[in-house]
Structures are given as C-alpha cells and as structure tokens.
C-alpha cells in the first residue's frame, strides 16, 4: 500500500521487530540527494531520557515503513556506526531553507519534506513550505517538486510552475504532482 507522509511524521516512530520488540525510534531520515530516495534512518533510544544511538537502519533492513511503526525482521537489521557512512543527507537538512523559484523569487521557507512510501522504496516528492517571511500565523502549502531537486542547507530551487500546483494537504498531492509533471513535459 503506497501512502504519502512527511519526514516530520516519521521521526519518532518506533522501530519494531516482527517478533514485537521495540528496539529504537527514528531520529532522522537520510535521503539520497540525486533521486530523493530514503537510504537510511538514524536512530535514538526509546523514552524521554534516551539519546541518539550510534547504530543506523539502512533501507535494505526495513521490512515495512508503516503509518505507525518501522518494521524490521530482527534486531540484526540495525547496523553499527561503521555502516553509517552512506550517501545522503538528513531529510531535515533542508528544514528552514529558503525556497527560491528558478527565476529568483523567494517564496518562503521549507518546513518539512513530503515522502511517497511504497513497498520497496520511499522517495522525496515535495516540500511543505511556509509562505512569506516566517511570521506568526503563516500559511503553509505542500509543493510537488521534480527530481533531482536543487538544494543546499540554505536554499532549495524549484520551478515556478511548482507553485501553480501547490495544495493544502496530502489528499490532493498525487494529483498536483501529476499536473506539475505534465506541465513541465509540455514546457519542454
């Protein structure tokens, strides 16, 4: 079953073995900058006083990324710190970055990253953007983006057309993404 979610909604989900043991929780989601694919998760212990773990969970070790938990076959799916040197950057690494159109217009700031989760992969497909200059009560929109996305820690650059397909919630996001894809094909 495919579904859409935000990186911020994945953070904090428990990592559970198929035997029912909770072994960690998700600290951050690491994305491949080229294709937006989730490559791994950094982990933290369970509970208020637990800190980050040195271990990571690579996507290959995930049995299922569900709406309520990340399922793994066994505790052995979690790898030691030597395995954490993987391609990618934390999904939240663009949080707070300015969103610029390719024409140079500042449209707001990244609040979160939208993921499309399927059985065998999860990929970044858009951003949640706070419109304006970060004032109180700002409106946010979900913005589909084509990949690869141009992003640094300070800025993300999107086609101006992305804003024509912005939506208020995840319900209409797939349709908006399809509309953007078609508009970009027609513009070529």
Q: Domain ends where: 40, 64, 90?
A: 90
E runs forming strands in the chain: 3-6, 14-17, 22-31, 38-44, 52-58, 62-65, 70-72, 78-79, 89-90, 98-101, 106-117, 122-131, 140-144, 150-151, 155-158
pLDDT tens-digit series, residues 137-186: 678 999 999 877 788 779 999 999 999 999 999 999 999 999 999 999 99
Question: Is the pLDDT score of 83 beyond 60?
Answer: no
**Shared domain check, 138 and 183:** yes
**Shared domain check, 52 and 135:** no
Q: Residue 48's pLDDT band (boundaries 50, 70, 90)?
A: low
**Of 70, 67, 60, the residue nearest 22 (C-alpha):** 70
Residue 176: the pLDDT is: 96
Report DSSP letters for 27-44, one per residue.
Answer: EEEEE-TTT-BEEEEEEE
pLDDT tens-digit series, residues 90-148: 554 688 889 999 899 999 999 999 999 998 999 999 999 999 765 556 789 999 998 77
**Shared domain check, 181 and 112:** yes
Predicted model pTM = 0.88
Q: Domain ends where: 90, 107, 128?
A: 90
Q: Domain ends where: 32, 55, 90?
A: 90
**Shared domain check, 176 and 96:** yes
In contact, 65 and 122? CB cutoff 8 Å: yes
- In terms of pLDDT, which residue wins out, 117 or 80? 117
Task: Identify the top-confidence range among 28-37, 61-70, 88-97.
Answer: 61-70
**Shared domain check, 113 and 86:** no
**Shared domain check, 151 and 130:** yes
Number of domains within the chain = 2
**Shared domain check, 112 and 140:** yes
Q: Residue 81's pLDDT band (boundaries 50, 70, 90)?
A: low
Long-range contacts of 179-184 (CB under 8 A, 24+ apart): 180/144, 180/145, 180/146, 181/146, 184/146, 184/159
Domain span including residue 49: 3-90
């Amino acid at each position: 079953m495919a579904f859409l979610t935000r990186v911020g909604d994945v953070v904090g989900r428990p990592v559970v073995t198929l035997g029912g043991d909770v072994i960690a929780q998700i600290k951050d989601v690491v994305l491949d900058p080229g294709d937006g694919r989730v490559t791994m998760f950094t982990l933290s212990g369970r509970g208020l006083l637990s800190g980050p773990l040195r271990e990571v969970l690579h996507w290959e070790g995930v049995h299922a990324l569900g709406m309520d938990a990340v399922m793994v076959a066994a505790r052995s799916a979690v790898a030691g710190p030597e395995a954490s040197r993987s391609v990618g950057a934390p999904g939240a690494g663009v949080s707070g970055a300015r969103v610029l159109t390719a024409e140079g217009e500042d449209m707001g700031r990244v609040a979160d990253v939208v993921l499309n989760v399927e059985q065998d992969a999860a990929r970044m497909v858009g951003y949640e953007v706070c419109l304006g200059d970060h004032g109180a009560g700002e409106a946010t929109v979900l913005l589909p983006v084509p990949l690869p996305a141009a992003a640094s820690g300070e800025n993300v650059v999107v086609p101006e057309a992305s804003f024509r397909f912005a939506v208020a919630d995840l319900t209409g996001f797939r349709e908006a993404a399809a509309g953007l894809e078609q508009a970009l094909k027609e513009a070529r």
